[in-house]
Amino acid sequence: MREAVTAYVGVGANLGDPAAAVRTALERLRELPATTLDAQSSLYRTAPVDSSGSDYINAVAKLSTQLTAPELLRELQRIENAAGRERPYRNAPRTLDLDLLMFGSARIESPELQVPHPRMHERAFVLVPLAEVAPEVVSEARLSAVSDRRIVRVA
């Protein structure tokens, strides 16, 4: 058996019933093979970034997994697809978006996956819920840099 790695997954949606989609996705993460859901943040409402449409509901999940990063990515995409995720264009509104933010201390640069997520430090909708589940990985300076962005805890 492979040693478990701590991974963080950003969860978001802004089509249909986004809060229900995020809650369902968190339940699906709990069911992943060789993986446990160690923590999940509150749900947050945020305006779209580099996108259009309704506000998003976002959260972050902390996982302990024995899957490799590519295996975890495939599982995340399977959950997205089951939720009706379509990709008509970059940053299109979505029924569900699951982003692998961090995978242990790994640095991965491939066409399919970049870890740590390249824009996570620019986004309040990632940093605020990430700080809730893993305050040790988000500095006060990073949080301060996104403090002008609207983000509201909803649940």
Residues designated catalytic: 85, 94, 97, 99
Distance between CA atoms of 39 and 11, rounded to whole angstroms? Answer: 13
Distance between CA atoms of 130 and 59, rounded to whole angstroms? Answer: 8
DSSP 3-state of 9: strand
DSSP type of residue 126? H
Neighbours of 152 (CB within 10 A): 10
